[in-house]
């Protein structure tokens, strides 16, 4: 009987893709590549994650990320399936992303419970953004992963500490910066970008446009589209004390647009005279020149303050902004889907869009997900 049980368990673990392999902080990017190429499904999945998120000093390459993730997923390793979910989220395919997350969750739970820091982080992301969300449990997974020195967990938790989450995570800028600095030393792209944004806004560090640009350029050098877009806007608009440089700013935006960054694409289109017909029809008193103007116009149309109320037009502006990564717009899309205003009512899509906003740190969206958990089932 004992032999039978041992064989059964080993067979189950093999079929599930669950192995005793485990990442350690001393393992560098070259070693991950070596093990992935040698046939390890664990490291194939991890390499897919690295190539999407730019961790361990890797450059972002979404095509290669998908290839390695599909290979791991086909062999039943949850890292691959989890990363396919994140890649689907980037494309705005929330239905497929949800299915991938659900497929990966059970095996990730087992792996996380065995002490794997990467599986812990993955579980944290799933709890943070997949309905029904569980923000307290997500934070606990992030903490456990960070304590085991997984850099992306430290970078994520560090950024959350800089802002705090009302009733869930007290603001602690000193701890936030310490965690980001530690993750930066481990070559985390997430940390490099977040540290640049901290310097840009003066969150936990003295405000410095120079240092912000320096760190954003490091992240941009790893082919991170969000850093490219942010640099482009800062240099074109001359915001936050950054000196204008039109030529360089356009170069960054074009890089981001080539990676299908929707906000960069729309900014370039508007700059070339292809402004939204909606904006033209409503003729706002201030020219619509960037996404903040578009967001402001949509909110006026939604509330009826400063413009005639028009839910359909508001929704048609919010949606592309949300698809391009704007957290506030994603929250409004979720609200409108929940109420059936300006678009067909869909509780499922409401959950998805509110989760997207919450993942990006939108506090009202987090509060709504917690408050209306039963209604959003």
Q: Hey, where are the domains in the chain?
A: 1-111, 284-371
Rounded-to-integer distance, Cα 301 and Cα 155, Å: 37
Q: Identify the band that residue 307 occupies on the pLDDT scale cut at 50, 70 and 90.
A: low
**What does the DSSP 8-state code read for residue 22?**
-
Q: What pLDDT is attached to residue 371?
A: 67
pTM of the model: 0.72
**DSSP-assigned letter for residue 345:** -
The predicted model gives 23-35 an average pLDDT of 95
Question: Residue 43 pLDDT more than 70?
Answer: yes
**Pair 369, 354: CB distance under 8 Å:** yes
Q: Decide: helix, strand or coil at residue 309.
A: coil
* pLDDT (0 to 100) of residue 306: 66
Question: Widest CA span of the chain, in angstroms?
Answer: 80
Q: Burial letters for 280-294: b for 16+ Cβ neighbours within 10 Å, e otherwise?
A: eebeeeeebebbeeb
For residue 40, give the DSSP letter: -
Report whether pLDDT(130) > 50: yes
Asked if residues 135 and 160 have their Cβ atoms less than 8 Å apart, the reply is no
Backbone angles phi, psi at 10, to 5 degrees: -60, -40
Structure confidence at residue 286 (pLDDT):
36
> Does the structure show a pLDDT above 80 at 288?
no
Q: List the Cα angle 254/258/262 in 5-degree steps.
A: 85
Q: What is the pLDDT of residues 212-271, one digit of tens each?
A: 999 999 999 999 999 999 999 899 888 777 888 889 999 999 999 888 787 888 888 877
pLDDT at 102 > cutoff 60: yes
The pLDDT, as a whole number, for residue 9 is: 35
Contact (CB, 8 A) for 291 and 266: yes
Cα separation, 282 vs 300, in Å, equals: 11
What's the average model confidence in pLDDT over 17-24?
A: 73
Those residues with Cβ within 8 angstroms of residue 37's Cβ, 6 or more apart along the chain or in another chain: none
**Whose CA is closest to 67, among 38, 103, 36?**
36
pLDDT at 287: 38
Q: Using one digit for the tens of pLDDT, what is the confidence trace for 2-14?
A: 443 443 333 334 4
Under 8 Å between Cβ of 144 and 120: yes
Q: For residue 168, what is the DSSP state? A: T
| CATH among 1.20.120, 1.10.10, 3.30.70, 1.25.40 for 1-111 | 1.25.40
**Best CA proximity match to 326, nearest among 363, 362, 274:** 362
Q: What is the pLDDT of residues 350-369, one digit of tens each?
A: 888 888 888 777 878 887 77
The residues, ordered by sequence, that sit 6+ positions from 360 with a Cβ below 8 Å of its Cβ are: 325, 327, 330
Q: Is the pLDDT of residue 69 over 90?
A: yes
Q: Please report how the helices 225-237 and 246-258 are oriented relative to each other, as an axis angle in degrees rounded to 10.
A: 150
How does DSSP assign 83-151, residue by residue? HHHHHHHHHT-HHHHHHHHHHHHHHHHHHHHTT-HHHHHHHHHHHHHSSSP-HHHHHHHHHHHHHTT-H
CATH architecture for residues 284-371:
Alpha Horseshoe (1.25)
Better-scored residue on pLDDT, 120 or 11: 120
Q: What percent of the chain has pLDDT over 70?
A: 87
Nearest to 45 by CA among 90, 81, 99: 81
Give the pLDDT confidence score for residue 342 in this predicted structure: 86
Q: For 166-201, what is each residue's pLDDT tens digit?
A: 888 999 999 999 999 999 999 999 999 999 999 998
Percentage above 90 pLDDT, the chain = 49
Distance between CA atoms of residues 55 and 78, nearest Å: 18
Cβ atoms within 10 A of the Cβ of 62, count? Answer: 17
Q: Which residues contact 265 (CB under 8 A, 6 or more apart)?
A: 257, 324
Please, which residues bridge with residue 165 across strands?
A: 169
Q: Provide the pLDDT for residue 375.
A: 62
């Amino acid at each position: 009987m004992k032999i039978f049980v041992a064989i059964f368990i080993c067979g189950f673990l093999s079929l599930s893709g669950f192995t005793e392999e485990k990442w350690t902080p001393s393992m560098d990017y070259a070693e991950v590549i070596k093990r992935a190429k040698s046939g390890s499904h664990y490291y194939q999945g991890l390499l897919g994650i690295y190539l999407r998120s730019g961790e361990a000093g890797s450059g972002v390459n979404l095509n290669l990320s998908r290839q390695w993730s599909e290979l791991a997923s086909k062999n039943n390793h949850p890292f691959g399936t989890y990363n396919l979910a994140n890649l689907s989220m980037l494309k705005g395919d929330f239905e497929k992303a949800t299915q991938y997350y659900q497929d990966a969750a059970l095996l990730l739970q087992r792996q996380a419970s065995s002490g794997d820091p990467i599986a812990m982080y993955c579980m944290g992301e799933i709890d943070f953004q997949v309905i029904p969300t569980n923000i307290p449990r997500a934070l606990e997974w992030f903490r456990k992963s960070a304590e085991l020195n997984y850099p992306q967990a430290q970078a994520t938790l560090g950024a959350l500490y800089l802002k705090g989450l009302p009733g869930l995570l007290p603001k602690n800028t000193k701890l936030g910066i310490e965690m980001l600095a530690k993750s930066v030393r481990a070559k985390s792209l997430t940390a490099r970008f977040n540290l640049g944004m901290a310097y840009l806004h003066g969150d936990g560090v003295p405000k410095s446009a120079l240092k912000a640009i320096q760190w954003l350029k490091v992240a941009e050098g790893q082919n991170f589209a969000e850093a490219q877009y942010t640099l482009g806007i800062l240099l074109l608009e001359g915001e936050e004390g950054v000196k204008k440089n039109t030529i360089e700013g356009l170069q960054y935006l074009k890089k981001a647009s080539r990676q299908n960054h929707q906000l960069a694409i729309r900014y370039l289109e508007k700059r070339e005279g292809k402004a939204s017909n909606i904006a033209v029809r409503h003729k706002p008193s201030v020219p619509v020149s960037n996404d903040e103007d578009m967001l402001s116009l949509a909110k006026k149309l939604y509330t009826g303050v400063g413009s005639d109320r028009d839910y359909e037009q508001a929704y048609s502006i919010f949606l592309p902004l949300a698809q391009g990564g704007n957290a506030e717009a994603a929250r409004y899309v979720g609200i409108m889907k929940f109420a059936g205003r300006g678009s067909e009512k869909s509780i499922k899509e409401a959950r998805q869009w509110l989760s997207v906003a919450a993942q990006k740190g939108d506090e009202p969206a987090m509060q709504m997900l917690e408050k209306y958990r039963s209604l959003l089932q």
